[in-house]
Amino acid sequence: MKTAVVTGGAAGIGAEIVRLLAENGYRVGILDVDPQAVATACAPYPNAVAMPADVTDEAAVAAAFDRLEGAPDLVVNNAGIVRFGKLADQTVADFRKVIEINLVGVYIVTREAVRRMAPRGSGHVIGLTSINAYGPGPGSGAYPAAKCGVKQLIKQFALEYGDQGLRFNSIAPGFIVGGMSAPIYADPKVRAARSAGVPLGRLGTPADIANAVLFLDGEGAGYITGHDLVIDGGVSHAVLRNLPRE
Ligand SMILES: NC(=O)c1ccc[n+]([C@@H]2O[C@H](COP(=O)([O-])OP(=O)(O)OC[C@H]3O[C@@H](n4cnc5c(N)ncnc54)[C@H](O)[C@@H]3O)[C@@H](O)[C@H]2O)c1
């Protein structure tokens, strides 16, 4: 049985990743910041391991990994936050918080995973980036910079630890209905306008992202490393879609 750790696994996209991995025979460790939320998220899965920790706290992350028996086979760096607002209106504390959780947290968790996986000579780490790693969004604050950083950090790990049997990839979700974006899509007008901008004609779901995790961790993807897989219905390639033609 493979063991996977999902950070931010107590809610949103992370909870769906946990569900799909458990359904596919993984033993799942749920690493999230609130111990009560972690306990609740673990309840449906008899083999789940509760790993309460803040991803920015090195000691807490190490203690959470100690709760597993041995090194995990897969670690999904899914925990993340966004602070909306134009850059000049934000505080340095807002900016730091987003970089700290979204980027430094991925470094802390991935470093912990590598230290445990490398002696065994196998393992896979996935990061969650965003289409904001490719383009800024109005009022997105430090988020695009943080996600661009995650994309490159994962590639750096892939370069340095491939010869020890480890793979590292990331997934860049587009417009996802769920998780941190759920409030945005509560407005039907926003929902319709954003759907219309997607070449595939619909918004994405947490299941679209969980399926990509399963694919990247599968046998058939064994030669893929250092890759950022964009899952966005084509929206990030659609800049010329409404170009006027005679
Ligand atoms: N929802 C979207 O539209 C979307 C789009 C692109 C990328 N993403 C990325 O997908 C990932 C999941 O997002 P979501 O929409 O499910 O968000 P969410 O807010 O629903 O869930 C995030 C989870 O991370 C946890 N978390 C936050 N800070 C933490 C910390 N310091 N330590 C441990 N856990 C912490 C939260 O408790 C929560 O369970 C994020 O990395 C996000 O940036 C989401």
Range of the domain at 42: 3-231
Ligand 1, atom 43, residue with closest C-alpha: 80
Domain count, the chain: 1
pLDDT (tens digit per residue) in 115-131: 999 999 999 999 999 99
Q: Are 216 and 145 in contact (CB under 8 A)?
A: no
**Is 237 a member of any domain?**
no
143 is catalytic: yes
d(CA 243, ligand 1 centre) in Å: 34
Q: pLDDT confidence of 173, banded at 50, 70, 90? A: very high
- Residue 147 CA: nearest ligand 1 atom is 43
**Is 244 a member of any domain?**
no
- Residue 65: closest CA among 124, 9, 6: 6
The pick from 32, 108, 180, 236 for probing ligand 1's pocket by mutation, whose C-beta has the most ligand atoms within 8 angstroms, reads: 180
Domain with residue 53: its CATH number is: 3.40.50.720
End-to-end CA distance of the chain: 59
**Is 87 a member of any domain?**
yes
**Is 246 a member of any domain?**
no
**Is 158 a member of any domain?**
yes
d(CA 79, ligand 1 centre) in Å: 4
Q: Are 185 and 219 in contact (CB under 8 A)?
A: no
Q: pLDDT confidence of 214, banded at 50, 70, 90? A: very high
Q: Check if 42 has its Cβ closer than 6 Å to any atom of ligand 1.
A: no
Calculate mean pLDDT across residues 162-185: 96
d(CA 116, ligand 1 centre) in Å: 24
In the predicted structure, residue 20 carries a pLDDT above the cut 90: yes
Q: pLDDT confidence of 239, banded at 50, 70, 90? A: confident
In the predicted structure, residue 246 carries a pLDDT above the cut 80: no
In the predicted structure, residue 62 carries a pLDDT above the cut 80: yes
**Is 168 a member of any domain?**
yes
State the Cα–Cα distance between residues 194 and 185, nearest whole angstrom. 9
State the Cα–Cα distance between residues 154 and 106, nearest whole angstrom. 9
Q: Check if 62 has its Cβ closer than 6 Å to any atom of ligand 1.
A: no
DSSP-assigned letter for residue 138:
T
Q: What does the DSSP assignment read for 172-226?
A: EE-SBSSGGGTTGGGSHHHHHHHHHTSTTSS-B-HHHHHHHHHHHHSGGGTT--S
**Is 190 a member of any domain?**
yes
The pick from 13, 56, 57, 190 for probing ligand 1's pocket by mutation, whose C-beta has the most ligand atoms within 8 angstroms, reads: 13
d(CA 163, ligand 1 centre) in Å: 31
Ligand 1, atom 19, residue with closest C-alpha: 180
pLDDT computed for residue 240 by the predictor: 85
**Is 210 a member of any domain?**
yes
Looking at 26, 45, 134, 143, which residue is catalytic? 143
Calculate mean pLDDT across residues 210-220: 98
Tokens of 88: 């000049």
pLDDT (tens digit per residue) in 50-61: 999 999 999 999
d(CA 179, ligand 1 centre) in Å: 7
Calculate mean pLDDT across residues 95-124: 98
